[in-house]
Amino acid sequence: MQRLEEIVEILDDGEVALDEMLSLYEEGMKRSQYCREYLEKAEQKVTLIQSQNS
Amino acid sequence: MMSKDAITVSNLTQAITLLLRDEIGIVRVTGEISGFTTAASGHRYFTIKDESAQIDCVMWASRTLAFRPKSGMQVVVQGRLTVYAIRGKYQIDCDRMTAAGQGDLYLAFAAMKENLAERGYFATERKREIPAFPLKIGVVTSPTGAVIQDILTTLKRRSPHCEVYLCPATVQGETAPEDIALAIAALQNTDADVLIVGRGGGSIEDLWAFNTEQVAEAIYHSRIPIISAVGHETDFTIADFVADLRAATPTAAAELVSQYDRETLWQQITAWENRLNRVVQLEMQNYDQRLNALINSYAFQNFGDRLHDRAQQLDEAEHNMQKALVRHLRQSTNKLESITAHLRSLHPLSPLQRGFALLCSGDRLLSNEDSLAEFDTVEIVRRSEIAQAKIEQVIDKE
């Protein structure tokens, strides 16, 4: 989501070349799709990480 | 002081009170605690003693105590000597009490803290921002007890989409500092966006692990931003100072990483998508306009005309060149003719046409450099006849 926000801000600022703009747009849309999917199937998941001591 | 008349007990007690207060005043006494009790009111009553004496002590509930005193503990108390008139007892009204030897510990702690501060561990400049939309949250705390439950409950309620990496660690006791440090280190190998390191509240001893250099180092070297969540509002630990952000409680820490619930995030994504679409559409229109402007530009539109112009110029140039060439050729021809005529006039025989004669000797034409005195005979050549002439006399004209 952070990256998505970043992309929106870069594009909002303008000053990007056409091909860069298009690839950013594509990336942004992909990411927003990913975020939506992520949120949709959201169910708290707890993973146990073992440290050296345990 | 001595009076003939008997005085009342109260008067005597008051005199003793004044004497103790003014003559002895504030004392610092070291001894061993015995019979420590805390009344329902929160006031603490105990005795401190050594091998041969003891003295009663009271410490009011309003005085803060940094540890839990137990009978048999060596302590240093500081306070005023007062009299409890009702029982005719004197006692120390303690302002402060420290465990004996804690003084050294405290000094070591203060030195360590100062050292860390000097090395920039607490510098606000190195505090990293906690990501606004973390998806993976690492947690270092005890796997049992209320703290982890509080964190999980809060996250589940606000941000169920977040994945939690729980790395259990004992947060109290001798192994706690190493345990916590290793857990923080273990989470460095995950893709966690932020770490919460904490435990519930407790006495300063309970929180001790969070005041160790080992934990401070682990937090300092974490590549992932860390929120410390140790105990309650009032307790600040070294871990709190080193961490990128301090939360008063573990629940508060969980709230800090789940500022936006799912609904808000969903709306946010929609808003971003709209902005993306709008911006790109606008830009595309912009490009379209610019392209059109280029296509319609004078230069582009009149390209054919300009081409014709150039072709015409080329033709003209060619024509001019041809003309120049012919002129040049003619001039050259004229020049050649005049030179030929001139050359012809310079031919040695041409003067004969005009009646002049030449002098020759044999095949050689005599020039002005030749003296006739050197010759016996010469040939006189005219246009249509040649004469043999004998030289009789040569007169030098000069």
Give pLDDT tens digits along chain B (398 positions): 555 788 999 999 999 988 888 888 889 999 888 888 888 888 999 999 988 899 999 999 888 887 778 777 888 899 999 898 888 889 999 998 887 765 556 667 778 888 899 999 999 888 999 988 888 999 999 988 889 999 999 998 888 888 899 999 999 888 999 999 999 999 999 999 999 999 988 777 788 889 899 999 999 999 999 999 987 656 678 999 999 999 988 999 999 998 877 778 888 888 888 888 888 888 888 888 888 888 887 777 777 777 888 888 888 999 999 999 999 999 998 999 988 888 877 777 777 888 888 888 888 888 888 888 888 889 998 888 889 989 888 888 87
Cβ within 8 Å of A, B 261-280: 262, 265-266, 268-269, 272-273, 275-276, 279-280
Alpha helices per DSSP H over chain B: 9-19, 102-118, 146-158, 176-187, 213-220, 238-242, 250-257, 262-295, 298-301, 303-345, 350-353
pLDDT of residue B137: 94
Question: Given CB atoms, is B285 within the 8 Å cutoff of chain A?
Answer: no
Q: Is the dihedral of CA B119, B123, B126, B132 positive or negative?
A: positive
Among B130, B137, B272, which would you mutate to test the A interface (most chain A Cβ atoms within 10 Å of its Cβ)? Answer: B272
Residues of A in contact with B186 (CB under 8 A): 49-52
Of residues A21, A36, A54, nearest to B168 (C-beta): A54
The residue ranking higher by pLDDT, B46 or A35, is B46
Of B167, B262, B266, the CB nearest to A51: B167
pLDDT at B345: 76
* Residue contact B164–A44, C-beta within 8 A: yes
Q: What pLDDT does B196 receive?
A: 96
Task: State residue B283 phi and psi, 5-degree precision.
Answer: -65, -40
Region A17-44: mean pLDDT is 80
pLDDT of residue B190: 93
pLDDT for B128: 92
Separation in Å, CA of B205 to nearest CA in chain A: 22
pLDDT for B232 equals 61
Q: pLDDT tens-digit profile of A5-25?
A: 888 888 777 777 778 888 888
Q: Is residue B214 less than 8 Å (CB to CB) from chain A?
A: no
What does the pLDDT average to over A24-42?
80
- B163 reaches A (C-beta below 8 A): yes
Could B185 and A36 be called an inter-chain contact, meaning their C-beta atoms sit closer than 8 Å? no
pLDDT attached to residue B105 = 61
Q: Which helix (H) or strand (E) holds B378?
A: strand B377-381
ipTM value > 0.90: no
Residue A25 and residue B276: Cβ atoms within 8 Å?
yes
pLDDT at B139: 95
Q: In what order do the strands lie in the sheet with B163-168?
A: A45-48, B163-168, B136-141, B194-199, B226-230, B245-247
Please report the pLDDT score of residue B35 as a whole number.
87
Among the listed residues B147, B129, B141, the one whose alpha carbon sits nearest the alpha carbon of residue B251: B147
Quote the minimal CA–CA distance from B104 to chain A in Å.
Answer: 30
What residues contact residue A5 under an 8 Å CB cut-off, 6+ apart?
A: B133, B272
At B224 the pLDDT is 96
User: Is A32–B276 a contact, with Cβ atoms under 8 angstroms apart?
Assistant: yes
Largest CA distance in chain A: 53
Which residues from B are below 8 Å from A38, CB to CB?
A: 135, 161
Give the chain B residue nearest A40 (alpha carbons). B161
pLDDT for the residue B245: 93
The reported pLDDT for the residue numbered B192 is 94
